[in-house]
Amino acid sequence: MELNRRQLARLARQAANTLVGALEHKGLVARFAEGYIEAAKRPELKANTEQYRETLGALRREALLCMLLHAEAVLPRYLPKPKRRAHRDFTEAQAVKIFRESLLEELARTDRWNPNDVFEFRRDLAIYESLTARRAAAPRTERRPSEAGGPFADRCALLLDPSMLERARAAANRFRGQLMRLATRALREVFQTKRRS
């Protein structure tokens, strides 16, 4: 079964709502931060309530960037394969682009982003893509273990606990794995629901 642009955009909106819903409903970002603070015995990280709330907001944004990038990477395995190439409405790359744009629009709508928020999110997404691609292109022998979590682990570590960067980076890398599994599950659910209907 083929998808047209409208159906693909609808699936992207559903995926965005599933991802945001999972972050909010399960309180994943707060649980990650609380777990780190408790394990590292660093209660002072949340002493300033306003600053801690801002940190959680920034971590949530990083989580969305991570999940979106991973969702794009695994999306092709969920796209139905066309029976005949001649009947294809768009290429796989175009499908990923349509999906991304629709997902970003839905995130902007749900989170009530202004145009500047959208611009900054897109800019950061481009940075993530660039750094991730650069790391993937590097020979395995040149990769440092501290880079395992890529830009997500680095940025989260700086937000959460810059004075204990390596420990925070390791925790963020574990959280990244959880977010990637969540993004994969969200896509699977959305596309399985589509196949059943």
Res 80: pLDDT: 80
For residue 90, the model assigns a pLDDT of 74
* pLDDT, position 147: 56
Ramachandran quadrant class, 150 (left: phi over 0; alpha: psi -120 to 50; beta: rest): left
Q: What pLDDT, in 10s, does the model give residues 126-155?
A: 999 998 888 777 676 555 554 556 899 999
Rounded to whole angstroms, the maximal C-alpha distance in the chain is 61
Q: How far apart are CA 60 and CA 93, in angstroms?
A: 27
The full DSSP string for 26-82 is TTHHHHHHHHHHHHTT-GGGGSSHHHHHHHHHHHHHHHHHHHHHHHHHHGGGTSPPP
* Nearest one of 50, 86, 92, 44 to 72, comparing CA atoms: 92
The predicted pLDDT at position 34 comes to: 97
Question: What pLDDT does 25 receive?
Answer: 83
- Return the pLDDT at 117: 96
Answer whether 180's CB lies under 8 Å from 70's CB.
yes
Q: In the chain, which residues have pLDDT < 50?
A: 146
